[in-house]
Amino acid sequence: MSRTIKAALLQHGNSADINHNLDKTIQGIKDAAQQGAKLVVLQELHRSLYFCQTEDVNCFDLAEPIPGPSTEALGKLAKELNVVIVASLFEKRAVGLYHNTAVVLDTDGQIAGTYRKMHIPDDPGFYEKFYFTPGDLGFQPIQTSIGKLGVLVCWDQWFPEAARLMAMAGAELLIYPTAIGWDPRDADDEQQRQLDAWVIVQRAHAVANGVPVLSCNRVGHEADPSDVSEGIRFWGNSFITGPQGEVLAHANANEDEILLADIDMQRSENVRRIWPYLRDRRVDNYQDLTKIYRD
């Protein structure tokens, strides 16, 4: 029997006004629900600009506790609209201890679970190690009223180990709130290679694990507050795939968009029966995967 849900990804540009951003997100969730969405995924750090372009201690003021104001507002909305919401927040866990955290609000308005970003980048324009402590919750799917969600965050999407561990723990969907873009100084062909790699690696996670993938990115140019670089032009292109990596929906590169797709939650089982990667794994010979490098 088919068990289909309509999923929505909210892709949009952000401003320095966090209240405006939240209002924009709330309206997007309402619009998605009106179009039949039962699962709504928000982009990474959707409340603010992507502040990790610089190392600025004042940016820690953007962090909030979980539970907190955002989860309260989104929880009420999830219950009102009867939808599951995947939100991405800058979590203040304790004084001097912060995480990049995804929160899942279920249809009853309660927090179904959280995931703290495990892989933390530290690259020009993406100075996340200054802000975020690596996650300590592991790769555990979150049980919701619509199924088990394997929620990961942005840089996690490049690591097949994270996707595999979520799938092995029973995740029915892999979900990636994301904030990724180009250095405007890169040549057009280099920009295309980067975008293609981003899409390919995530579609490969769907194929290798036999589960749909949902990746929600932001759009627009955000200036570098330090003026060291030309900022980041977020490339949008949010997308949803089925369990064989087939693209079910793909957003544009530049504009706000509510991306919708119907996902057959039962199809993964059929796919795994004919492509039994989990059956044929040679776990008795994978010990070296726990090493950083094989000398």
Residues with a catalytic annotation lie at 44, 117, 154
Phi-psi region of 126 (alpha: psi -120 to 50; beta: other; left: phi over 0): beta
Burial of 26 (0-12, 13-18, 19+ CB in 10 A): middle
Residue 281: both structure tokens together? 């794994």
The residue to which tokens 């119907």 are assigned: 262
For residues 65 and 90, give the distance between their C-alpha atoms in angstroms, rounded to a whole number: 8
3-state secondary structure of 88: strand
Give the type of residue at 134. P
Give the type of residue at 1. M
Pairing mode, if any, of strands 213-216 and 147-151? unpaired
Do residues 13 and 220 lie in contact, with contact meaning Cβ atoms separated by under 8 Å?
yes
Do residues 259 and 240 lie in contact, with contact meaning Cβ atoms separated by under 8 Å?
yes
Strand partners, 142: 149
For residues 182 and 185, give the distance between their C-alpha atoms in angstroms, rounded to a whole number: 8
Burial of 282 (0-12, 13-18, 19+ CB in 10 A): exposed
Do residues 211 and 167 lie in contact, with contact meaning Cβ atoms separated by under 8 Å?
yes
For residues 27 and 7, give the distance between their C-alpha atoms in angstroms, rounded to a whole number: 16
